Amino acid sequence: MLNVKNEVYLNIPESAKKIGRANQTVYQHWRKWGWKPYKFGQTLLFRESQIQSWLEEQITELTV
């Protein structure tokens, strides 16, 4: 986790843990999901706020 100017950035393993998926799933699908990557050295980072927004979009309302 990297914190820059009040924004938290997560690497692949941290991002995978946040969404409850395997690291490989994140590696394979981050482009399809529309996540914008940032590089810190050779490490891909994603904004935690962007991942949270994506998660909220994935939730569908269930009607009974």
Tokens of 23: 């690291």
Count Cβ atoms below 10 Å from residue 26 Cβ, excluding itself: 24
pLDDT digits (tens, 9 = 90+) for 15-63: 999 999 999 999 999 999 999 999 989 999 999 999 999 998 888 765 5
22/29 Cα distance (integer angstroms):
11
pTM: 0.82
User: Can you name the residues that pair with 7 across neighbouring β-strands?
Assistant: 4
Domains of the chain: 2-58 (1.10.1660)
* Confidence (pLDDT) at 39: 93
N-terminal to C-terminal alpha carbon distance within the chain:
39
* Confidence (pLDDT) at 61: 61
